[in-house]
Structure 1
Amino acid sequence: MDRNCGYVSDVEYPAGFFCEQSPAHLNFACILNGIEPIPLDRPFTYFELGFGQGLTSNILAAGNPQGKFYAADINPVQVASARKLAAAACLENLTLFESSFAELAEGSVPDLPQFDFITMHGIYTWVVPEQRKHIVNFVDRYLKPGGIVFLGYNAMPGWASTLPLQRLMLEHADQHPDRSDIQVQKAGRFVERLHDLKASYFVDNPNLEHRLQTLKTLNPDYLAHEYMNRGWQPLYHADIARDFGVAGLDYAGSADLPMAFPHLYLTPEQRRLLDEIPDPVLRETATDFCRNTLFRRDIFVRDIRRMTQARQSEWLQQLGLALTVLRDTATTTMEVGIGIGAVSGRDDLYIPVLDALETGPKTLMELATLPQLRTQKLSTLAEIAALLTASGQASPFFLCSATMECESARRMNQSIALHSLGSDSYQALASPLLGSGVVAGLVQRLVYLAMCRESIDVNAIAMDAWKGMLAKGGRVTKDGIPLESEEASIAELEVIVQAILDRRVPIWRQLKVL
């Protein structure tokens, strides 16, 4: 019997960190949607299903020492890699299992507690229906009352035009046995030939052009997992809601924070029509037709508790906001990444907030006392925080995290930085203030390593970065133009290193990354 049940296991899933899975982010999303969150000022439990390389679980465990984290994956190579990172950082609050969904659902994994959070990214629409039932059964068995479930998944109707493309690629792979990453590249080249011959499917679906480009540019290991799984099936929100409704869960809202503010992505006419729909599942599914949604980040809660406005305000007062980018790169015209294009915030509100955050993290109540915001409702400030977070310019944090210990996060970050000498796969660092992670490029991580060693040699760091780029076939660019010579490349890297020391390091200190 195939223990993997048609799931790609011959190539590893690329490492990635997904901030939407962090307890703080999920709690903030619940608060925005008027749902009682999980207190983070006390011990909590967390499980990630299908953790891939385990970077998300490792960073979250390091940044939330008060939590007990568990995670499972079926790929032994990925499990070994995740365990190696956890061991290097001496994490004591993360347990990693090599287990199938069936084993988890049956209770075959010993000593599992009940969980406050259960999360999964992508996996639900990549596995066969039997495996989806095991996932639901696991949630049913182990989720606490009031517990939060997060699912990121390929959604309909946004994937509708791509369904035939995936089927064609899978059929091509069946006729050309090989390793999955090689199969997906061969299938991609076959698809490209059909496209170049003006096959009507491609002519009639011009929106596929972007999808076809990604077949050429994205990591083949990722593409193998996206297109070569036997159970690959984008689902409607209604499907997900029914599946998890069996386990007593209700939809709480989206981890895409701007979705809590429909005026940002729906026309007034669309909102009026949707408001006529009494059934919440149909209303949410119809919303996806308005947006042609490709990917959903759903939050479900068991025994959901809806808050009064007063209670919601109490929770907002327990939140702060911190910049995660340089102030001079922050903008009030924001790309928020949910298919609605750029959102323009009011300069008279957003600029004072960004200016205030430049000097360090602030509580929402401190921001509310800014002269320009004194007449605004707290809900307006919550929307500002949501949009700055969605655009990657800031991140919320719970005030209780300001007093959490930082040693586990710093051990994790040093381990990630050391790993960067030979690999560029772990592209994030842990922030105990945020209880989450922040994106960090190769040169940034090498600077971090040098600071840990208290040996700041700009040229040496630039040389290490240059070697790393050469190893993976990368190029240094200046003003968008690739540099040809080693001398020019190293000189530019030295400029970048110095800029990181002068400007990025202070942000790391604010976020307790360093």
Structure 2
Amino acid sequence: MHRFALLSRSIQTGVDPERFSYCELGCGHGFSTLLLAAAHPDAEFHANDFLPSHIAYARKLAADTGVANASFYDDSFEEFGRRDLPDFDIIVLHGVYSWVSAENRKHIVDFIARRLKIGGVVYISYNCHPGWAAMSPLRDLMIMFAGNPDEPILNRIDHALDKVQGLFDANSLYTRVYPMLKDRFDSVRKQTRSYVAHEYFNRDWTIFYHTDVARDFRDAKLNFGASVQMLDHLDHFNLNPEQQKLLNETPNADHREVLRDFLANRQFRRDLYVKGGLSLAPLERNDLIANTRFALSVLPAEIPRNLLTALGSFGLNPAAFDPVIAAFERGPRTIRQLQTEDGTKTLGFALLLDTVMTLVGNNHLQPCLDAAGDARRSSYTKTFNTAIMQHAKSSGELAFLASPLTGGGVYLDRFGRLFLLGYQSGHADPAAFARDCLIARGERLIRDGKLLESPEDNLTYLREQYERFKERLPLLKQLGIV
């Protein structure tokens, strides 16, 4: 995905898509790093997290899934910077930069300056202005009401949320001036308390303008490359003509990004920065994109024919989207191939690219790796995926499997993982296999708000779910998971 996002902005990096060195700063439990490592057996992965319990989990999961090309360290950012590590092609920070101190941000930038190779890429996500302008004071109020830091965090969170709810119940002027706050606060209350603790009750919590992060990264000799969200690259969906004119008349690239954030009232950015990326001529860029393989990541029936953006709802052109989706339903292919196939060859490169980018931007289509490496990658992802499916016997967590085609993750719910495990293990009745796995744990299913007590009722429900799952099998086969 990173390579395609940068290519769409005519930027070429020095990163080999198969053989690269990868670092994740603040990896949590390490699942995403392990999934990527399984799908890229010829790459080298390193990741840190300050909490030893997170690293212990990551190392055990690496052993359980047979991933041998990933190493995990319970280091602070400062300690990690002193460790004897290779230089990296890719450095990733997801959900880190806004939630660490200024001192730790300096350690991060220093690490990137010293460890990122020329031609390397940094992925960073963070909370940004102006989308947090109304919510930020409410977060400060939540912190104020959280009380004694020595008390259990979950009790403090519930107390703070209840107190802030009083602002809405009392019809305060603040909540009337910002009417959208109610929906946002209601969504906070529905989140798991562990998510709320990280997102809102972290000791360090900083909202940035794009220019703040761009300035920090310029100290490490990095330049902004592209948003990793492909829909951000399609101005005709996101900006009206007056807004596009405003951007086009703004010569400073960083200022344009800030204007984009204001035009969309954006509250979260997912960006790519590059150290020494090369600018591509239009023909070079189009040639590289045309030869990139793509594969569907959802069933065609699940792809809506309208797109909701800041400008409203757009109906997608059926003359382009229907034949393109139908072509990808037959299997992974390149835009170059679409240009030669019946149904799509008359669309032209520009329309095909726009259609593909829209599907990628909605997570309906994924860029793929070179087909020559599919078989080798598959031997590693099979071991990883089997272990993750085995994990579904006891837990609903770890809901992604690794695709040897895309090199990324494919979501599959717990029932799906159990069904697939039973299917691949040769069970005559995968639904009964899933039922037996759940019963062995003392678990029962809920249907229409009612607990299904008998094994027969549980099996009937699972067989209905299995019929739906079978519709997904051709897609999973195309993605190399089956």
Asked if Structure 1 and Structure 2 have the same fold, meaning a TM-score greater than 0.5 normalized by the shorter chain, the answer is yes
Provide the C-alpha distance between the structure 2 equivalents of 1:341 and 1:468, rounded to a whole number of angstroms: 49
Structure 2 residue aligned with 1:60, among 29, 36, 43? 36
Task: From the superposition, tell whether residues 474 and 305 of structure 1 become closer, same or farther in structure 2 (CA, over 3 Å).
Answer: farther
Aligned-pair CA distance for 1:294: 1.1
Range that drifts further, 338-347 or 350-359? 338-347
Give CA-to-partner distance per residue, 1:208-232, whole Å, 9 cap, x none: 1122112221111011000111211
Q: Deviations over 1:444-468 (max 9, x none)?
A: 1111222343224234234257559
- Please, which runs of 5 or more residues in structure 1 have no aligned partner? 1-24
Equivalences for 1:256-275 in 2 at 5 Å? 256-275=229-248
Q: 1:68 Cα deviation (Å)?
A: 0.9
- Aligned partner letter, 2:83: V
**Equivalence map 1:93-492=2 (5 Å):** 93-105=69-81, 108-110=82-84, 112-175=85-148, 177-335=150-308, 342-400=313-371, 401-464=373-436, 475-476=446-447, 481-483=448-450, 485-486=452-453, 488-492=457-461
What whole-Å deviation, never above 9, does each CA across 1:292-315 have from its counterpart, x for those lacking one? 001111110011211111111221
**CA–CA distance in structure 2, aligned partners of residues 493 and 104 of structure 1:** 47
TM-score under structure 2 length normalisation: 0.94
Output the TM-score relative to the length of structure 1: 0.88
Kindly provide the amino acid, as one letter, of the partner of residue 109 in structure 1. Answer: R
Give 1:493's aligned residue.
462
Residue 464 to residue 39, structure 1, CA distance change in 2 (3 Å): farther
The residue identity in structure 1 corresponding to 2:465 is I
Distance 2:307 2:410 in 1: 18
Taking the aligned partners of 1:465 and 1:183, their CA distance within structure 2 comes to 37
Q: Provide closer, same or farther for how the CA distance between residues 375 and 39 of structure 1 changes in structure 2, counting only shifts above 3 A.
A: farther
Encode CA deviations 1:225-253: one digit per residue, 9 max, x unaligned: 00111211121111111110111111111
1:475 CA drift (Å): 3.2
Determine what percentage of the aligned residue pairs are the same residue: 32
Task: Look up the equivalent residue of 1:435 and give its one-letter code.
Answer: G
SS in structure 2 at match of 1:380: helix
Q: Is the 8 A contact 2:331 2:478 kept in 1?
A: yes
Distance 1:509 1:497 in 2: 16
Aligned partners of 1:95, 1:86: CA distance in 2, in Å?
9
Cα–Cα, structure 1 residues 340 and 462, in superposed 2: closer, same or farther, change >3 Å? farther
CA-atom RMSD in angstroms: 2.1
The amino acid that maps onto 1:431 is S
Aligned CA distance change for structure 1 residues 140 and 377 (closer, same or farther; 3 Å): farther
**Runs of 4 or more above 6 Å deviation:** none
Q: Distance in 2 between matches of 1:154 and 1:475?
A: 37
- Give 1:72 shift: 1.0
User: How many Å apart are 1:172 and its aligned residue?
Assistant: 1.6
Residues matched between the structures, number = 479
Using the alignment, how far apart are the partners of 1:354 and 1:497 within structure 2? 25
- Tell me: CA distance 1:69–1:147, structure 2 relative to 1, closer, same or farther (3 Å): same
Distance in 2 separating the partners of 1:366 and 1:50: 40
Change (3 A) 1:433 1:38: farther
1:419-470 alpha-carbon deviations (Å, 9 max, x no partner) = 1111111111100100000111010111122234322423423425755998
- The farther-off stretch of 201-210 and 398-407 is 398-407
- Please say if 1:504 is aligned against 2:472: yes
**Partner Cα distance (1:444, 1:452) in 2:** 12
